Amino acid sequence: MNTKSRGPGETESTVGSNNLSHKRGVKSYVLRAGRLTTGQQRALRDLWPLYGVTRPARALHPAEFFAQAAPVNMEIGFGNGDNLVAMAVAAPDENFLGVEVHEPGVGHCLLKIEEAGATNVRLIRHDAIEVLRDWLVDHSLARVNLFFPDPWHKKRHHKRRIVQPEFTRLLARKLQPGGMLHIVTDWPDYAEHIAAILAQNPEFETLDNTPGDRITTRFDTRGKRLGHSNWERAWCTRSKLPIPT
Ligand SMILES: C[S@@+](CC[C@H](N)C(=O)[O-])C[C@H]1O[C@@H](n2cnc3c(N)ncnc32)[C@H](O)[C@@H]1O
């Protein structure tokens, strides 16, 4: 796999604290100092070396993180990873790259990977924006999934919402031509914000249908409990690769 080992025991301040993070400034997350269970600690110690990816020395094609040459689907903010692992198990001929900053979630997901015996999942514990921008070469992702991104309700926090014009431009660059972006939220005003931002980006075309391959997670359940209904959309990129000379 690759380079500098980071992982278990890494303090919260080290996530995204490399010399590029300050350029972005506003983060779409706040790291909570969650307690690790004994199982999560074991997973971070023993399983991270098998499934964890650390920052490469230069931008790579994400297929290099995996054992099989196959399309790479990225899930941004996978939470505890239940959906990521379920999708990977359901599509063994594809690769699944999960990016999450919350350490207990990464530990939980490692345990799920082990339990499922999934060999087509890799995890990154870092700010997804920086991963997209600096770790991956352009036009290398088949699909990006963003399920229940943090809604950041207060107006003064809207700048923290991960979906911003710059984010969609970055995604358009990192997705393959015809690559897919799939987003779900249960917050109507975030849905409006997302729809408006995607509509402004000429690189994305709205698809008529959304894929039916994600599983119900605790955010689906919580939304239902709050009386919300999900807003779910998918887009594909129109971007064309430069014609080789
Ligand atoms: C509301 S939770 C949803 C979790 C999961 N998608 C689900 O449906 O269960 C949002 C998650 O996104 C993660 N997150 C937010 N911004 C992120 C970023 N820039 N990079 C990686 N993870 C991020 C948070 O840590 C959090 O776990």
Domain boundaries, the chain: 39-237
128 CB within 6 A, ligand 1: yes
Task: Evaluate if pTM is beyond 0.75.
Answer: yes
Give the pair of three-digit tokens for residue 196. Answer: 């408006």
Q: Which residue has the tokens 């890799």?
A: 122
Nearest CA to ligand 1 atom 21: 100
| Percent share of the chain, pLDDT over 90 | 83
Q: What's the pLDDT tens digit per position in 104-158?
A: 999 999 999 999 999 999 999 999 999 999 999 999 999 999 999 999 999 999 9
Q: How far is CA 231 from CA 12, 56, 183, 192, 213, in A?
A: 32, 35, 8, 9, 15
Superfamily of structural domain 39-237: Vaccinia Virus protein VP39 (3.40.50.150)
Q: Which atom of ligand 1 is nearest to the CA of 151?
A: 1
102 CB within 6 A, ligand 1: yes
So what's the pLDDT on residue 244?
54
164 CB within 6 A, ligand 1: no
So what's the pLDDT on residue 1?
41
Nearest CA to ligand 1 atom 23: 77
- Residue 245: pLDDT band with limits 50, 70, 90: low
User: Is residue 150 annotated as a catalytic residue, yes or no?
Assistant: yes
